[in-house]
Amino acid sequence: MLAVIEQLLVLQDRDRRLLRVRAELAAIGPQRQAMQARSAGAAAAHEQARQRTLQLESRRKELELEIEAQQKMIERYTGQQMQTRKNEEYQALTKEIEHCRAAITRIEDQQLELMEQAEAAHRGLAVAAAELKHAQTLVEDELAQLAASEANLRRELAELETDRTALATAVDEPVRHRYERILKSRGDKVVVGIEHGVCGGCHMKIPAQVVVQCRAQQELVNCPNCGRLLYYARDMDLTVAS
């Protein structure tokens, strides 16, 4: 194998590792946002449950005030009955008192229903609080692990970039430019082997003359189909697949 091919294969390995590390780093932000969204979702559910209990408590107090108002009206009508001497007025006041008592009965029915709703709401709030605590603990742990992973990836990235710079500098400039052009247009498969008579990059058949050139290991050879750099290793099968 040509020495320059060996250099380029090592450089290509660093480029692939750099791509992997950069992709993993790029995924950190969305992962962090997804974790925070889970915690925010649990917090929103807890707040909704809390607001529900507050609304029911507010309604309970309103009903109590409504009963008090009806009771005061009964007291007032009763007092007026004691003062009137007219039967018609007395009967009219009696009807008003009955209306007030009927209203109190309806309100008390509402109170019973409200009590059931309040009990269910408090149970829901307890569940939401437990789920929020669990979500916050879980997300805190996940965020800590993610931060540690990010720090490791950034260290690895810095090391790879330094290593890559040194490796690239060691390659002759014309060859390096040739490699960089293919890297830019073809991705991380720049230097590829010949397997069964086809290019390891585009998987197109290689002409016999090009295969012979590659085996001679005298110069850099490009795939006539995709332009990638070809190499030959003794353990490769150069027979064209039937």
Global pTM reads: 0.73
Distance CA 211, CA 213 (A): 5
pLDDT of the residue at 111 = 97
Q: Running DSSP on this structure, what letter comes out for residue 195?
A: E
Cβ-in-10-Å burial (0-12, 13-18, 19+) of 204 comes to exposed
Instruction: Transcribe 207-229 into DSSP letters.
Output: PHHHHHHHHHTSS-EE-TTT-PE
Q: Report whether 139 contacts 36 (CB < 8 A).
A: yes
How far CA 98 is from CA of 41, 80, 101, 102, in Å, comes to 50, 15, 5, 6
Taken in order of first residue, the domains within the chain and their CATH numbers are 19-170 (1.10.287.1700), 174-231 (no CATH)
Q: Return the minimum-mean-pLDDT range out of 37-46, 145-154, 179-188, 232-241.
A: 232-241
Model confidence at 232, pLDDT cuts 50, 70, 90, reads confident
pLDDT tens-digit profile of 131-146? 999 999 999 999 999 9
**What are the strands of the beta sheet with 221-222, ordered from one edge?**
198-199, 191-195, 229-231, 221-222
Residue burial 91-113, b: 16+ Cβ < 10 Å; e: rest: eebeebbeebeebbeebeebbee
Q: Report whether 232 contacts 215 (CB < 8 A).
A: yes
Distance CA 170, CA 145 (A): 37
pLDDT of the residue at 119 = 97
Helix 173-186 with 3-83: angle, nearest 10 deg: 40
Q: Report whether 152 contacts 20 (CB < 8 A).
A: no
| Three-class DSSP category at 231 | strand
Is 60 exceeded by the pLDDT of residue 6? yes
| Three-class DSSP category at 51 | helix
Neighbours of 74 (CB within 10 A): 19
Quote the tokens at residue 145: 């692990």
Distance CA 11, CA 62 (A): 76
Give percent of the chain with pLDDT exceeding 90.
90
Quote the tokens at residue 171: 């390659």
pLDDT of the residue at 194 = 92
**What value does the mean pLDDT take over residues 151-157?**
98
pLDDT tens-digit profile of 32-80? 999 999 999 999 999 999 999 999 999 999 999 999 999 999 999 999 9
**What value does the mean pLDDT take over residues 100-114?**
97
